[in-house]
Structure formats: structure tokens, C-alpha cells
Structure 1
Amino acid sequence: MSVEFLWGDRARPTRGPKPTMSLESIADAAIVLADAEGLAALSMQRVAADLGFTKMSLYRYLPGKAELVALMVERAIGEPPELPASGWREGLVAWSELLFAAYLRHPWTVEATVGRRHLGPNELGWMECALARFGADSQLTGAERLDAIAVLAGHARMLAQQSAAQLGEAEMTRAMGEVMQVHGDRFPHLTAAMLQTAAEGGQNQAFTFGLHRILDGLETLLSRRS
């Protein structure tokens, strides 16, 4: 299927009534639906109904649901960010935080950006933006740079998915605490860690903690090679 509609102006339909919708309005209506009810609720018919049109009218603009989701991702994540003029580490921290925020704003994008799919300029632009922070003279190979970005994106995706499932660290801790009150003696190290966290704080830092440990590893690798 053609993905030209993601990469440039798509010719307006030449047959039938004069167009009364745009790709942007269709995608925005679909995003509102997915934000509220998730991708499972998304269908061409449902989006058309929300816009006040028939299902067949949408096919004059998009071939099908896969293309609609691709367009939604482009609109939801937006154009590549402007990163601070700083070193590679600071730039990748900012990039990861912005990507994480985008996933949190639109939880369905976690599901929509895995597997085989249509790719648009915004999604690839985010990758280009991150890879550019390593510079042309990076000590990492091309494959390693791509893997580094994949690990950072995967970290943001995993924590956003956990947040969307309302399984945050606080909720998990409460659920575990109820069990540990009865069976804590079977898990002494877990009990000790939970008690220390309760006394000293530090919970709900999984994204930041994991992000900086990933970057610590990259920094160590670059230091060894230089």
C-alpha cells in the first residue's frame, strides 16, 4: 500500500462530491477516540461516525486502518524535538524524556509503534535527531548507535506502558505490601528493600534511574574505546 500521504501532499479526490474532510481532521478525530478508549475501539466506521460521515467516505482519503494509525502516530508524536546544544548524553536525556512524555500523552502509541507498520517522516525524524547526537566521529558503530536508540526508546515505551496500565510503582508497592505482611519472612531481601524505600523514599524513579544507567553503560564503553 502507498504511504505517499505520509510523506507529501496527497492529491485531492477527483471523483465524487467535493472533499469535506482533511487527513488532519480525520487523524485528530481518531486520536481523540484512541486517547479515550484505546486502539481496540478504533475503526474506520467509528471514526467516520464521530465525524458525521459514512465509513466509505473515509476510504476516499485513506486506504484502511493501518494507514490511519500511521497517520495518527505522525500527528501524535509530532515533529522531531529541538534538543539543547550540549553533549551527547545531555541531548539523549532530553530526547528520551520527550519521547516518554509523548507516550504518556497518547498511551496507544506504545502499541502502535511496534511491529511491521508504515513509517512517516516524523517517526524517522525522531530517530535521526537522536542519532545525530553521537556525531559522525562517534566511537560506536552504526549498528551500536541504532541499538542504543532502540534501547532508550524501549525503556521509555516499557515505563509508559506500565503507567498506562495503571501499574505504577506506588500501586505495585501497595499490592506487594499486603502480601508481604503475611508472607514477608519468605522474601527477606525484598522485605528489606521495601522497608528501606518506605523509610528513605526514592520510589517512582524507575524511568530516570534506568535512563541514566543505560547512558552510564554507553559512557563507559565510549571511554574504553577512546
Structure 2
Amino acid sequence: MTSEQWGAALQLLWGPPAKPARGPKRGLTLEGIAGAGVGIADAEGLSAVSMQRVAGELAVTKMALYRYVPGKAELVALMVEAAMPEPVALGVEGAGIAGGGGAAGGGGGWRERLGVWVRGLHAGFRQHPWLLEATVGVRVMGPREVGWMERALAALDGCGLSGAEAMDAVVLLTGHVRGIAEQERATSGGVVGGAVGGGPDAQLGVMLGEVMRVHGTDFPALGAALASVAEHGGQDQALEFGLERILDGLGLLVAQRAGGSAG
């Protein structure tokens, strides 16, 4: 979507909603149009969505659909807004350093709120895997997506980070969530309810097990790690492991800003 197209998407997402172009009496809604697109994407992936396909689902002509939505880019923007969950509610009590923000451990404050935020965003991507494809690049974001960014930044309010640092922290956390969700999407076929057969780590372990049976002596460190996993478990915990390590690093930075200790 180019900057010349942003005006239409902004109007559709942020309103007030424009009246459809001239034609028969209004019979569709933006919510219904978005819902039809979401249903197709959930079942078959984003590539299956087209103006013609959505029009067919709504039992109207493609030209009738164009009276409401000027093109596929705007259609996808509406779908993202409809599919994104409502931003998770994060408590504001105990914000900043006083709420356990400077500690690498500890459960309250900014650290706990960002944990809730990450898990909520991850759940949204798991519910609608095509969102990973639809939410890349420079584009117009709707109220829900912007609301997620607002929640994360608010969780860091009072921690002593600069605006740039807080934004980068949100980007880092989002990238972690997206990376895990991408792996899950690949193992599920990219659609809701796709066959998983174990998480990404488990499936990787099965494949590597086959390799190691023949070539295990060439990769002793990998063999030892796989043996430990087989004995003690711990597969498919990358989301939580990465989250804790990112929060540990942010805790060190917050402590530096406060002039204290992160331990």
C-alpha cells in the first residue's frame, strides 16, 4: 500500500465511515465484508482472499463490493482490524521501578504486564496465522493494532527509558512473538486448525533424531542436548524462554537508568 492509498484505508479504519458510492440501497457492512475475508483466510490462507472471492461469499457482485472497499489492500486492512484481538488489559498499579521493574526476577510491575502482553499477542497470531503475513511493511494500522502498541508502551512508562528505547523494546518483543508464531504456522499448514503433530521443537527433534542415528558422532554437542531434552523435557518452551531473557535484559537497562542493581 503506497502513501497515495493511505487515505482510503485511514477512512475505513478510523472513520467516520464514508457512504458507499452511488448505486442500489446499502446492503453490506464493513464488518460483514471483513468477516467474510477473515473466514476465507482462516480456512485457506491469505492468498485465497480476493475481492471476487469475498463478493461470492457475500452473494454480491465484485462491482457491488467495490462500492464499499476500493481494493484488496483496504480489504486486508479491514480484515486485520477485525481479526486482531482487543488489546489485553494491563493493570497500571505498581508501574515502573516501584512495581518490581528493576528486578530481573520478581512478578509485578512492567515485567509482569509485558509478559501478559506477549502471551496475548501470541494467542492472536495463533488464532489467525495469516495475520503474520498481513501485518508486515509500511501500512495503515487500525485502532486495535495501535492499541496493542499503546498498551506495551504504557507498561514501560516510568521505567526511565527514552521514547526510542521503549519503542525498540516493543519491536524486540513483537519480533520474538512473530518468530515463534511463524514456526508454529509452518508446522500447522498456515491455517486455523491445521495438523500440528507436536510443536515446532518436537517436530524438529524427530527430524534431528533421524539424522543423529546415523551421524550422531559428528555432532556431539547436539546429541547431548537432544538426549537431555528426551530425559528432562522442555520442548516447545521457546516463547517463555525468550520472553524471560528479553525481560532480563530490559531489567538491566531499567536498573541502570535508576542507578540501582538489576539483581
**What is the match of residue 56 of structure 1?**
63
Runs of at least 5 residues in structure 2 that lack an aligned partner in the other structure: 93-107, 188-198, 259-263
Task: Give the residue type in structure 2 aligned to 1:42.
Answer: V
| Runs of at least 4 residues off by over 2 Å | 11-14
Check conservation: 1:66, 1:118, Cα contact below 8 A: no
Structure 1 residue 122: Cα displacement: 1.3
**What is the match of residue 209 of structure 1?**
241
**What is the match of residue 35 of structure 1?**
42
Cα deviation digits, residues 161-188 of structure 1 (max 9, x gap)? 1101107111111011011100011110
Structure 1 residue 9: Cα displacement: 2.9
**What is the match of residue 171 of structure 2?**
150
The whole-number CA distance in structure 1 between the counterparts of 2:256 and 2:222 is 35
Look up the SS of the partner of 1:90 in the other structure: helix
Choose from 107, 131, 153 the match for 2:129. Answer: 107
Aligned residues: percent identity?
A: 54
Structure 1 residue 14: Cα displacement: 5.5
Structure 1 residue 57: Cα displacement: 1.0
**What is the match of residue 123 of structure 1?**
145
Choose from 131, 134, 138 the match for 2:159. Answer: 138
Count of residue correspondences: 225
Task: Give the residue type in structure 1 aligned to 2:83.
Answer: A
Runs of at least 5 residues in structure 1 that lack an aligned partner in the other structure: none
Check conservation: 1:35, 1:106, Cα contact below 8 A: yes
Of stretches 216-225 and 198-207 in structure 1, the one that deviates more from structure 2 is: 216-225
Of stretches 7-16 and 181-190 in structure 1, the one that deviates more from structure 2 is: 7-16
**Does the alignment pair 1:164 with 2:185?**
yes
The whole-number CA distance in structure 2 between the counterparts of 1:165 and 1:48 is 29
Check conservation: 1:77, 1:122, Cα contact below 8 A: yes
Choose from 4, 7, 19 the match for 1:12. Answer: 19
The whole-number CA distance in structure 2 between the counterparts of 1:97 and 1:169 is 18
Could you state the TM-score of these two structures normalised by the residue count of structure 2?
0.83
Structure 1 residue 11: Cα displacement: 2.6
Structure 1 residue 118: Cα displacement: 1.7
Could you state the TM-score of these two structures normalised by the residue count of structure 1?
0.96
Task: Give the residue type in structure 2 aligned to 1:154.
Answer: G
The whole-number CA distance in structure 2 between the counterparts of 1:48 and 1:82 is 35
RMSD in angstroms over aligned alpha carbons? 1.2
Look up the SS of the partner of 1:165 in the other structure: helix
Check conservation: 1:67, 1:118, Cα contact below 8 A: no
